[in-house]
Structure 1
Amino acid sequence: MATTSITTSSPTPATAHRASGAGQVALAVARIGLGFVFLWAFLDKMFGLGYGTGSAKSVLNGGSPSKGFLSHVNVGPLQSFFHSIAGVGIVDWIFMISLLGIGVAMILGAGLRIAAVSSVVLLLGMWAAEWPMAQFAADGTASGSQNPFVDYHIVYALLAVVLGFFATGSRLGLGHWWSTLGVVRKHPVLV
């Protein structure tokens, strides 16, 4: 009786971080979706489209995108810190530029590694401001937290890490073209 052995090949280091064709398309769609989350937040805050930000509170009408959110933080150990930076001009600028930059980079598929790191930093800050570990706010009311550790900020941050790691910009994006630019070839962190 003959025996056969089944061997499975491990991915080589060069291909270990590549997804299959269908996987690449799925990651590209997820990348574009996550990019649109950031870009929409920017557009709504800039123009006051009436979803999260009313017209009167838009940046174009003198509104502060950080003041409304950060001044109402009422949970967690960083509460006073967030209150102290609420409405500060440089914080508003950094926040808006981050939303725009992350959104555009994710949608276009260019600069994904920087966008991934930036989005993780931004999302972890927002997670800390909402502090989902708290069941009750400082005034004793229910915080509304549904999970003490993993909320949408963490899920989005994890997705951003995956997208930055897999560098999915060539599918449904400009990633291939972007990676051929001299400055990007010289500084691979810009992929």
Structure 2
Amino acid sequence: MTTIGRGTTAHLEKVEAPGSMLTHAAARALAVLRVSTGFVFLWAFFDKTFGWGYSTPSERAWINGGSPTKGFLANLEVGPFKGFFHDIAGAGWANWLFMIGLLGIGLALLLGIGLRIAAAASTLMMAFMWIAEWPLAEGSTNPVTDYHFIYAVVSIVLALTYAGHTWGLGRQWAALPFVQKNRWLL
């Protein structure tokens, strides 16, 4: 018990840290969300690379000469940027940027490191994919929000809440001298 003012007593609860708003359960839930979202990006990378037969058949795998971007971008049917996306469909630079993005975002989320960069990269990737699919077109299932928006928001929330510190390498990453000098790498 603590005395507050003139003889008034109260029980004070122990607070984790000044300004801390996350409970242990919330931190764990964010860690599960982080790992799960990282796995979504990594799965897309591996399936497109090796053609495991889920979204990408073996004959269209990247290692078998397939293009990770061509099937999606070349078949777009709506939107004001349809021509642009058709033009870059299957381009070597587009394939490499997309695949490096999937791998980098997936690893960062899975490991819990570089979450700010992962959030920026996934938001940019998801914005491009949203623009490519153009859900504002008539007949869309939801013109307001979709999974691209949700993945972008999730990655931002994970970065802002230091979700890599729970069940990840975020604390060790943040303690590295190079990261200390370049806080944007958190």
Question: TM-score, normalised on structure 2?
Answer: 0.88
SS at match of 1:64: coil
How many equivalent residue pairs?
172
Whether the 8 Å contact between 1:123 and 1:156 is mirrored in structure 2 is yes
**1: CA distance between counterparts of 2:53 and 2:172?**
36
**1: CA distance between counterparts of 2:22 and 2:184?**
20
| Amino acid in the other structure paired with 2:109 | M
User: 2:11: which partner in 1?
Assistant: none
Give the superposition deviation at 1:22.
Answer: 1.0
User: 1:94: which partner in 2?
Assistant: 97
Whether the 8 Å contact between 1:18 and 1:166 is mirrored in structure 2 is no
Whether the 8 Å contact between 1:134 and 1:148 is mirrored in structure 2 is yes
Please say if 1:135 is aligned against 2:138.
yes
Q: Once the two structures are superposed, what CA deviation does each residue of 1:28-66 show, in whole Å capped at 9, x if it has no partner?
A: 110111100000000000000001100000000010011
Q: Runs of at least 4 residues of structure 1 off by over 3 A?
A: 14-18
**1: CA distance between counterparts of 2:144 and 2:89?**
24
Give the superposition deviation at 1:167.
Answer: 1.7
| Amino acid in the other structure paired with 1:98 | G
Match of 1:185 among 176, 180, 183: 180
SS at match of 2:54: coil
SS at match of 2:138: coil
User: 2:70: which partner in 1?
Assistant: 67
**Which is higher, the Rg of structure 1 or of structure 2?**
2
Q: Once the two structures are superposed, what CA deviation does each residue of 1:107-131 show, in whole Å capped at 9, x if it has no partner?
A: 0001110001100000111111111
| Amino acid in the other structure paired with 1:24 | A
SS at match of 2:80: coil
**2: CA distance between counterparts of 1:17 and 1:76?**
44
| Amino acid in the other structure paired with 1:156 | Y
Please say if 1:85 is aligned against 2:80.
no
**2: CA distance between counterparts of 1:38 and 1:89?**
20
Match of 2:161 among 166, 173, 179: 166
Match of 2:79 among 76, 80, 101: 76
SS at match of 1:19: coil
Give the superposition deviation at 1:135.
Answer: 1.8
| Amino acid in the other structure paired with 1:155 | I
Structure 1's unaligned 5+ residue stretches are: 5-10, 137-144
**2: CA distance between counterparts of 1:117 and 1:92?**
19
User: 2:45: which partner in 1?
Assistant: 42
Please say if 1:21 is aligned against 2:34.
no
Match of 2:33 among 13, 30, 33: 30
Relative distance call for 1:15 and 1:71 in structure 2 (3 A) is farther
Whether the 8 Å contact between 1:108 and 1:174 is mirrored in structure 2 is yes
**2: CA distance between counterparts of 1:78 and 1:15?**
48
User: 1:142: which partner in 2?
Assistant: none
| Amino acid in the other structure paired with 2:180 | R
**1: CA distance between counterparts of 2:35 and 2:127?**
20
Question: TM-score, normalised on structure 1?
Answer: 0.86
